[in-house]
Amino acid sequence: MNTGQKNSPEQYISDTVDLSVDLGGLRLKNPVTAASGTFGYGREYEPFADISRLGAVIVKGTTLKPTPGNPAPRIYETASGMLNSIGLENPGIEVFLDIHLPYLLERGVQVIANIAGNTFEDNETLGAMIRRQSGVAAIELNISCPNVEKGGMHFGTDPDMVFQVVNAVKKVTDLPVIPKLSPNVSDITIIAQAAQAGGADALSMINTLMGMAIDVKKRKPVLGNIFGGLSGPAIKPVALRMIYQVHKEIDIPILGGGGIMNVTDVLEFIMAGSSAVSIGTANFVQPGISVQLINELADYMVANNVAKISDLVGAAVYK
């Protein structure tokens, strides 16, 4: 008889190193999350990974009413990156709460809802609909989508608006509120400070960088929506720089991401000041990457005598 108990990867990890992090009152068992819009509602990735092992799944951005999204083509590959102009296509908050959320909760997934109201009032309404009672762990407030005419980035580039919308959502929900910041500003620290003053529990950064591509044969823009958001390894240096800058100026934790493809990238984001990381475009390339990175992060910690991953947060930041 085999007397040796076989441990699950999770047990193995928790016995040897501490991967858990605090994200503004939200406890994550490890710092790896799946970024909103790149992971659907989780189920699409179940054939490739045990999604319940993730620190959290940040689901597709939710509007109040169903949103059809932008005209095709919506995506285009660029050098080490991709442009997207999905336009927040989603079935609306009710379908999310009634169908997708229970599915994820039944599987033991920690869910962060991403809300993306078209108006100030929509964000308030959405915030009020998503409370602790619903089973959601936190709200990521999308004030940075570059692909919608109303709301989106419009909120995220004006410090007064950022303060007000964060403050309004904070008042109506009992969950941690994590605004997702737009990189399409000249000084991101001003926006970050406004979000913090508005009561943000943590900051998510960065959303995509606005860009475009031209079809030279047709002599017109490639994307149906003309502009799109650039993601992938191409934006990683920009994301790191912004997280580094913001970490120096604010006191709340950062959920960092932008082109993370491997464990070295994860470590760079943590050392630049991210308490947790979000994996986005990499999910499209390696559908099991997010869970794989948890294991690789644990391996790194064991090999480098890092007992707690939280000890590395901001390790490279000269304050």
Partner 1 sequence: MSVSQMQGMVIENVQKNSGWYEMEISIPSFAPCARPGQFVHIKTGAGSDPLLRRPFSICDFDKDAGRLFLMYKLVGSGTKWLSSVASGSYIDIVGPLGKGFTCPDPGARVILVGGGIGIAPLLYLARRLTERNCRLRIFYGVEEYHQLSALNKFERLGVNIDVATHDGSAGFKGLVTDLFEQKIVSEKADVIYTCGPEIMMAKVAAVAAQYQIPGELSLEEYMACGVGACLGCARKLKAEDDNFVKICKDGPVFSFSQMKFDLN
- CB of 155 closer than 8 Å to CB of 146: no
Is residue 39 close enough to count as binding partner 1 by CB under 8 A? yes
Whether residue 73 is preceded by a cis peptide bond, meaning omega within 30 degrees of 0, is: yes
Nearest distance, CB of residue 70 and partner 1, angstroms: 8
Dist CA 227 CA 94 (whole Å): 29
> CB-wise, 48 or 120, nearer to partner 1?
48
Lay out the site mask for partner 1 across 66-105 (x = CB under 8 A, - = otherwise). --xx--xxxxxx-xxxx-x-x--x----------------
Question: Quick one: CA dihedral 231, 236, 242, 248, positive or negative?
Answer: positive
- The verdict on 238 binding partner 1 (CB under 8 A) reads no
Number of residues located near partner 1, criterion CB under 8 A: 34
Per-residue x/- track, 52-71, partner 1 (CB under 8 A): --------x-------xx--
Q: 14, 18, 22, 48: which one contacts partner 1 (CB under 8 A)?
A: 48
Q: Rounded to the nearest 10 degrees, how much is the dihedral formed by the CA atoms of 156, 158, 161, 166?
A: 40
Compute the least distance from the CB of residue 116 to partner 1, in Å: 14
Active-site hit among 145, 177, 242, 277 = 145
For partner 1, the binding residue among 144, 281, 290, 310 (CB under 8 A) is 281
> Closer to partner 1 at the Cβ: 123 or 283?
283
Sketch the per residue contact string, 217 through 236, with partner 1: x for CB under 8 A, - otherwise: ---------------xx---
| Of residues 26 and 213, the one with the C-beta less far from partner 1 | 213
145 is catalytic: yes
Exposed/middle/buried for 196, CB within 10 Å: 0-12, 13-18, 19+? buried
Give the count of beta carbons closer than 10 Å to the beta carbon of residue 305: 7
Q: Distance between CA atoms of 58 and 115, rounded to whole angstroms?
A: 10
Helix (H, G, I), strand (E, B) or coil at 51: helix
Measured between its terminal Cα atoms, the distance across the chain in Å is 57
In 3D space, the residue among 111, 113, 139, 135 whose CA is nearest the CA of residue 28 turns out to be: 111
- CB nearer to partner 1: pick between 24 and 73: 73
Residue found under tokens 């990867």: 9
Active-site residues, by number, are 145
Q: In the complex, which residues of this chain contact partner 1 (CB under 8 A)?
A: 37-40, 44-45, 47-48, 60, 68-69, 72-77, 79-82, 84, 86, 89, 232-233, 261, 281, 283-288
